[in-house]
Structure 1
Amino acid sequence: MLAEVRADSVTVTWGLGEPVEVGDVEFFGYGIYYYDPSGNGGKRLGVRFGDEITAWVFDNASATQANYEASSVTVTDEAVTVHFNDASLGLDAVGTIEAYAHVNGHDTQVELPVTLLH
């Protein structure tokens, strides 16, 4: 997982591996979360696939969420990339940063490593 932070945007790319068997799928998605070194603040960024494609950023400090159009999501056989325009890291320093995948709201992969580029 790669997160690239620029002055006015964040771009997140989830590399895809082999498909997994999980039974009936209503929706699935990928996410990343991070906090400052004390475990406070931070954000959750994600993408969800179901009846429609949605992307979002949830700010832990203000408990607000920004939603993004499906056009901000690019899907290939190798990766899912979301460009979060007008988004920021929101922290001076990052302590914990990890990625996850879910199916029907149940995490299927957790604590995936993230490379953060500034």
Structure 2
Amino acid sequence: MSNQPLPRYVTSALIEVEGGSITVTWGLGEVIPGEIEYFGYGIDYYGVDGNGGKRYGVRFHEQATAHVFEWSSATQANYTSASITHTDERIVVFYPDASIGLEDVGTIQAFSHVNGADIQTGIPVTLMR
């Protein structure tokens, strides 16, 4: 993983909605130890009735990629590493043509994973519209 960030524990998660785009920022803390093949971060949310919603995610493997998965239609939009910036303190992903798609968000939470296993779940998310 040349020029890739190290996997780190999530300390905060923020979604910013601006017009027809979304910016997601995962605040990062200490490095996650162990043998790492790939890792990533995500935010899942659903409507107040438990339906609809999306997953905003980023994954680091041989290259960095991002995606938006829509639960109701089971469709996914993929984004290249050009949409991703990172430092030791944060991962920021810009989704230029994404939206929340729900008037009322019910549950919303962030997570992190390493080698396909969830490391952190239920991380609170701040949603700014």
Task: State the identity %.
Answer: 58
Tell me whether 1:80 sits opposite 2:104 in the alignment.
no
Q: Secondary structure, in 3 states, of the residue corresponding to 2:82?
A: helix
Q: Paired residues, what number?
A: 117
| RMSD, aligned α-carbons | 0.6
Q: Secondary structure, in 3 states, of the residue corresponding to 2:57?
A: strand
Deviating beyond 6 angstroms after TM superposition, the runs of 4 or more aligned structure 1 residues are: none
CA distance in structure 2 between the partners assigned to 1:39 and 1:92 by the alignment: 13
1:105 to 109, 116, 121: 116
Tell me whether 1:90 sits opposite 2:101 in the alignment.
yes
Query: Higher strand proportion, which one?
Result: 2
Name structure 1 gaps, 5 residues minimum. Answer: none
Tell me whether 1:26 sits opposite 2:37 in the alignment.
yes
TM-score, normalisation: structure 1: 0.97
Q: Secondary structure, in 3 states, of the residue corresponding to 1:16?
A: strand
CA distance in structure 2 between the partners assigned to 1:7 and 1:59 by the alignment: 19
Counterpart for residue 66 of structure 2: 55
Query: Which amino acid in 2 is paired with 1:66?
Result: A
TM-score, normalisation: structure 2: 0.89
Tell me whether 1:45 sits opposite 2:56 in the alignment.
yes
Query: Which amino acid in 1 is paired with 2:69?
Result: F
